[in-house]
Amino acid sequence: MNPAHIEIDLNALRHNFSQMQKLAPKSKVIAVVKGNAYGHDAVLVAKTLDKADAFAVARLEEAVQLRESGITKPILLLEGCFNAEDLKIASQNECHTVIHCQEQLNDFLNTKLPKQMNVWLKVDTGMHRIGVQPEQVDTFVQQITSSENLQGNVNFVSHFYMADELTSKITHKQLEKFVAVTSKYPGEKSLSNSAGTLYWSDAHFDWIRPGISLYGISPRSDSHGQREGLEPVMTLKSQLIAVREHKAGETIGYGGNWVAPRDTKIGVIAMGYGDGYPRVAPNGTPVYINGRRVTIAGRVSMDMMTVDLGPDSTDKVGDEVVLWGKELPAEIVAQHVDTIAYELVIKIANRVKRIIKD
Ligand SMILES: *Cc1c(COP(=O)(O)O)cnc(C)c1O
């Protein structure tokens, strides 16, 4: 008996990595492992992806954790360091840092760092979240270059915000702006996340930065990884802990928001929002049991959820249930929950055991 757990398929992870590499054969790969590798276990993923040229994380603590576990490849801090103290720790740990604003530039210029650092200047090509404006680039490059803290050339990074929309003109504009601002400099360039790598072959530059695609999930919410040559790495599973006869007209669970349209059987699954399954998943959200999809009936609670198995079902207590993964793409569940699969996988709770398949 195995209640809420995830299976992590390392062969699928390696497969997805090589798919991304094949799409961008001239580029090096920064494997994005922020957020504990999107819920998959950052140390495990980094150790498995020994062909990656570098890793990227969002928080200094994530980088330090990788270093402490013996990862020696370059680690890029995607938003840089948030104060001078952190910058020193990042330098000590041989991280690559991003500089995206004046405060970070000041820290870099005014702090005596224990080791020289590789710097990636983040350019705002249209997302308007972080990054220096195109007209500021020359000044930033000059100042960073003047610092003894700098290792090598200043590198350049920018981020797409609509690369998952295949007919959008925005991505072309971002691409043009990135080239216009950075091409005169010798430093290395990186623009593409998963969507850029999958759908915009002109945007690969020196380094691609895939995240979600490594985990077998499509960056497009109207698609799924298996349709794009990817294999889901995480499968979220549990089991039935009760199968109950249920009369037409009766409700189930908190709020009584589901009413049985006919006599049926209800399956109770050991899985709830305490495991990271979204509480907002409405009636009708699919769940995979014994070769077919059934649907959620009643509100998801902390440790349990209920599905309508149908009047003729033969499912038994102990039968395996897949919430998302190989048999049921997380992207499809995400559509029902009105979110993206990124959010589903990253929210897996600590109490959910990880079982590694290799
Ligand atoms: C998270 C992130 C990525 C990876 O994006 P995916 O859509 O998961 O491929 C790449 N670059 C930056 C700056 C990011 O923050």
In the chain, % helix, strand, coil (3-state, to 5) comes to: 30, 25, 45
What's at 116, amino acid-wise?
A: Q
Strands 234-246 and 320-324: antiparallel
- List pLDDT tens digits, range 242-294: 999 999 999 999 999 999 999 999 999 999 999 999 999 999 999 999 999 99
pTM score of the predicted model: 0.97
Nearest-atom index, ligand 1, CA of 210: 9
Q: Note if 199 is an active site residue.
A: no
Q: Is residue 335 exposed (0-12), middle (13-18) or buried (19+ Cβ within 10 Å)?
A: middle
Tell me the Cα Rg of the chain: 23
Substitution site in 192, 193, 207, 214 for ligand 1 pocket (most atoms within 8 Å of beta carbon): 193
Residues 164-198 have pLDDT tens digits of 999 999 999 999 999 999 999 999 999 999 999 99
pLDDT band at 211 (very low <50, low <70, confident <90, very high): very high
| Annotated active-site residue in 51, 115, 173, 254 | 254
Catalogue the E-assigned strands of the chain: 5-9, 28-32, 54-57, 75-77, 95-99, 119-122, 155-157, 189-190, 207-208, 234-246, 264-269, 286-289, 292-296, 305-308, 320-324, 353-357
| Eight-state DSSP code of residue 113 | -
Q: Is the CB of 219 under 6 A from ligand 1?
A: yes
Close Cβ partners of 73 (under 8 Å, ≥ 6 residues apart): 46, 52, 53, 54, 55
C-alpha to C-alpha distance for 231 and 312, rounded to whole angstroms:
33
Residue 303 CA to ligand 1 center (angstroms) comes to: 32
Catalytic residue list contains 26: no
